[in-house]
Each structure stands twice: as structure tokens, then as C-alpha cells.
Amino acid sequence: MSSVMVTGVGELVTLDPAHGHGLGVVTDAAVVLEDSVVAWTGPAAGAPAADEAVDVGGRAVIPGFVDSHSHLVFAGDRAAEFAARMAGTPYDGGGIATTVAATRGASDEQLEANLLRLLGEMRRQGTTTVEVKSGYGLTVADEARALALARRLTPETTFLGAHVVPPEYADDPAGYVDLVTGPMLEACAPHARWIDVFCERGAFDADQARAILEAGSAAGLGGRLHANQLGPGPGVRLACELGLTAVDHCTYLDDADVEALASSGTVATLLPGVEFSTRSPYPDARGLIDAGVRVALASDCNPGSCFTSSMPLCVALGVREMRMTPDEALTAATLGGAAALRRDDVGHLRPGSRGGLVVLEAPSYLHLAYRPGVPLVSQVL
């Protein structure tokens, strides 16, 4: 066993109740890691001895971000669609078919290279835990391939065969649901921890989503759902009724949806990069938090509706556009993401944490929202 002491931490965000409520901030702090797992945190003056020391020179240190929603296994890009959208074409999810065609035509090597490039980009911005979905293959072989590639790089893989109905099933959506709940699920379940459905007008309705989530649950997968992104709908209430771990987007909610979220404990994952990139109204994070709903922030990094991999940007948008406090936004991007993945070993810096430390090129975590667009991550330990 080898131990490393990280010293010279001007401000340490632990999210450890032992260091006070909220962010559990310790100033003039140190962290001791044993075999890369947090063993001790607290004021530097009281730190136990360690084999080696790393001095971060007064910088702030936060837990690695937990990005609980991304779509990184794909080929091609949709920059032209983005430009058209900014010129006034509304987003309706129809461009997903473009990415499906490009992804089916790509080699394993091309898909893996793109995935590695995006994961590297995320890590350089402080993300140390990433959920990755399939959903651009939409055949048994292509979905299983996407998940097998992702599974080598993260344990948090999600089977999203129910992303859209692919063109070859346009006249037989029920046949596609049978495929997703049958042979496709069977091929994908060994490579996945989660199952997800895009429950939205133009994609899958509540009955189809329920059937797919129940089949996934029977195959041992945890459930999550894309819902209420493009308009009001039954998805959020379905997620709460089924006791899913998380329901993502939550842009168009009524009072009953908010009540269901507050009483079910299902995490509402907000993806403000999507609203930014589709020029849409943001979810009401303030109202959700005030109602007692547990919220997470995630990137939704994907080639269509939101091609950012930056959790610091999501934190800044949460604060500026969704009226979260800086503390709430950072909590949602770390501990909130961990809750959305049912992980208790990441998203904080408590003894036992395996989520890594992010050293900021700043004296305080407040700079994440205060200095938007600036590369503030100096090191990921």
C-alpha cells in the first residue's frame, strides 16, 4: 500500500457531512490517498503521515465530476444541423437518423477512437465518472457493439435501443419494441448496467416505455428515462411510478410531475447544455430544488442536441440560467450525478472515495460559474 498526501489545498470541497453541511468546505486542507482511494481529509495541520506529498500551491480542490448522461458511441457530426438550428430550424430529434447511418457504417476502430477522444476531453475538464449510452446502432449487432466498446472504458453503460424507431421499422414500431425487448436486450444486457428509453412524442410512448423498462428490469438492468424534454408528457410520472433511479431532461413539468419527483426520490437529471444548444427554455431547477427534488447536472454530450462534454459549462449554466446557487450546482454535478447512478463511492471526497480529485486553477470552486468558458481544471489526481 502506498500513500500520497495532497497538500497546499487552499479550499477543499469534500461534500462530507463530517466537515459541515452543504459542500463541507475545509480551508488550508490536505487529503491523504491510499492506493488512489481517499483515506483522510481535513485541515493540513492535523494530517497523518504519508509516503509522498504533492503540493497544489493554494489551489482549490473539488471531487471529480460525475457525468451521468452521455451518448459517446457514434460516428460523424451534425455541425450543419446545428447551424441550421441557429438560423431558425427547430430541434425535433429527427437528426438522430443521420448519426445512426454514420455509426452503422463506421468500423469498431473508428467508434473506439472517437469514444476515447471524447472521454479524454471530459477528463481534462474534470469528469472522472461517465455514463455512456448506446442508441445510434439500433440493430442487435450495432447496439451490442456500442455497449461492448463502452464497457471496456466505463462500468456505467446504458442500453438505449429505444432511442428512436429506426427507418426500417417506420411502418412497424410495435415490431421494433419486440426486437428491443427480445433479441436486442438479450445481446446487450451482458454489456450494460442500465436501460433507458426516449419517451417523447415522435419516439416512444408511455406504454412502450413501460414495456421496455420492465423487460430491462427482468434482465437485471436498472432503469432510467429521457422524458419531458420537448414538451409535457407522461414520462416523468412513469419514471417515478416505476421507482427508476433517474429521469433525465425534465424541462416541461407540471405540479403533479414535481410532486411525483419529490415523493418518489427519483433523481431529476437536468441537462442545460441541451437547452443552450437548441435555444430552448431551461428546466426550472430552482422550483425543483425548493420542492425537495434531488437534482443532478449532466452534459448529455451527443452529436445532435448538445455537443459539449464540459461539466464546468453545465455548472455555469445551472447557476446563470437555472437560478441554482453555485453550491447547489456543484453538488448536482458531483453528488447528484453519483445518486443518479446509485454510486456511493464517487462524487465526494470522503474516506473511501474512488472518484478522484480535481485541482482547479483557481482559489475557489466559485470560479467554475464566475469564470465561464475558462479552462480551470489544472490537474486530475
Q: How far apart are CA 233 and CA 203, in angstroms?
A: 12
Nearest distance in Å: CB 298, Zn ion: 9
In the complex with Zn ion, which residue's Cβ is closer, 11 or 300? Answer: 300
- Closer residue to Zn ion in complex, CB, 248/328: 248
Is there binding between residue 11 and Zn ion (CB under 5 A)?
no
Q: At what angle do helices 140-151 and 108-124 cross, to 10 degrees?
A: 40
Tell whether residue 284 is a contact of Zn ion (CB under 5 A): no
The answer to whether 283 and 253 are in contact (CB under 8 A) is yes
Sheet of 267-270, strand order: 132-133, 157-162, 194-199, 222-227, 246-249, 267-270, 295-297
Question: Which range binds Zn ion by CB under 5 A, 146-154, 235-243, 253-261, 293-301?
Answer: 293-301
Cell output for 329: 450546482
Q: Smallest distance from the beta carbon of 15 to Zn ion, in angstroms? A: 25
Shortest reach from residue 86's CB to Zn ion, in Å: 20
Counting other chains too, the contacts that 177-182 makes at CB distance below 8 Å and 24 or more residues apart are 177/204, 177/208, 177/211, 177/212, 179/140, 180/212, 180/215, 181/211, 181/212, 181/215
The distance of closest approach from Cβ of residue 337 to Zn ion in the complex, given in angstroms and rounded to an integer, is 14
| Contacts to Zn ion from residues 310-329, by CB under 5 A | none
Residue among 38 and 244 whose Cβ is closer to Zn ion: 244
Stretch that binds Zn ion, among 57-65, 149-157, 300-308, 352-360 (CB under 5 A): 300-308
Instruction: Report the SS3 class of residue 368.
Output: helix
Determine the interface stretch with Zn ion among 85-93, 259-267, 297-305, 318-326 (rule: CB under 5 A): 297-305
Cα of first residue to Cα of last residue in the chain, in angstroms, is 17
Judge contact between 238 and 204, C-beta under 8 A. Answer: no
Contact window for Zn ion (CB under 5 A) among 109-117, 229-237, 292-300, 373-381: 292-300
Within a 10 A sphere around the Cβ of 178, how many other Cβ atoms?
Answer: 15
Instruction: Determine which residue in the list 300, 315, 324, 360 makes contact with Zn ion, applying CB under 5 A.
Output: 300
Query: Judged by CB, which is closer to Zn ion: 156, or 300?
Result: 300
Closest to Zn ion by CB, 275 vs 300, is: 300
Minimum CB separation from Zn ion for residue 199, in Å? 12
Q: How many residues bind Zn ion (CB under 5 A)?
A: 1
Judged by CB, which is closer to Zn ion: 14, or 299?
Answer: 299
Q: Which three cell numbers stand for residue 123?
A: 477528463
As measured in angstroms, the least distance from the Cβ of 197 to Zn ion is: 11
Q: Which is nearer to Zn ion, 164 or 324 (CB)?
A: 164
Q: Which residues of 349-378 are buried (b: 16+ CB within 10 A; e: fewer)?
A: bbeebebbbbbbebebbbbbbeebeeebbb
Angstrom distance (rounded) from CA 115 to CA 136: 13
Residue with smaller CB distance to Zn ion, 29 or 188 = 188
CA distance 243 to 263: 10
Contact 111, 146 (CB under 8 A): yes
Min separation Cβ 269 and Zn ion, Å: 9
Q: List, in order, residues 6 or more apart from 183 with CB less than 8 Å away.
A: 140
Closest CB to Zn ion: residue number: 300
Residue whose CB is less far from Zn ion, 298 or 359: 298
| Strands 357-360 and 60-63, sheet pairing | antiparallel
Does residue 37 contact residue 101 with C-beta atoms inside 8 Å?
no
Q: Which stretch binds Zn ion (CB under 5 A): 251-259, 299-307, 322-330, 361-369?
A: 299-307
Give the footprint of Zn ion on this chain (CB under 5 A): 300
